[in-house]
Structure 1
Amino acid sequence: MLWPVGCLDIEISQTLFRQLYNELSEAGGYMAKLLNLQEWAEETYSKPPSLSTLRRWAREGRIYPAPELHGKEYKVQHDATYVDPSKKNLRPKPKHLKLPSGGTLLERLTHGEKASSLRR
């Protein structure tokens, strides 16, 4: 592949061009290139899933950001990830839950004004 640089034409391999392009797109220099599902799987997994599995994941919304359907082929961003559907809430849970200042409703109803002394 010839890449014009000033008045010189430099010949580089396609893999080197892809690496340079991806680095530039991550830095915000160019719009990111979309990969088809098989290319994305080869970059992401050591043993990529089958094409039918990848298409099913795309239809079911298991890949984030969601792949785009271009004609008959799904295109996905190179930094996309698989989202496990069994994990419904992906936000981290807070370590300490703060109890209401006057005690919980059950404590206030059961113990009246003594609820503030019943802390866990």
Structure 2
Amino acid sequence: MTQPPQTQAVQPTTSYAKGDIVLFRDVEKFWLGKPGHTLVGRVERSWRHADTGKVLYDLVELSGNRHRAGIDPDYMRLLPPADAMHDIDTAPLSEPDTAAMTPAAVAWLRQHLAQNAAELPDQR
């Protein structure tokens, strides 16, 4: 009887640059099933572990400005700006009710209108 050929899953390697915004997991909390294990952080630096040679990252947790050292990139995912700005890009601008827009879209519109208020004609 012949065995089917074995395939090995290859995990793509991702490297992160200083300033990248990432979603990361507190590994211990995650595997113990504790709440608050998934966080957002900003990459501060990368370094290679002296014993294992694995590249690890130091992050600043954005929700508390707390430094987190030695984060394993297997538990990190990049948060692309396009995803973060999706709600603004897809806001229903023709909608007369601003409650139908997400808060981020409304905030962007208010800021944009405030910056250009000097260019608008006087209201009558």
TM-score strictly above 0.5: no
Q: TM-score, normalised by structure 2?
A: 0.21
More helix by share: 1
Radius of gyration: which is bigger?
Answer: 1
TM-score when normalising by structure 1: 0.21
> Which fold has the larger relative contact order, with Cα–Cα distance below 8 Å and residues 6 or more apart in sequence?
2
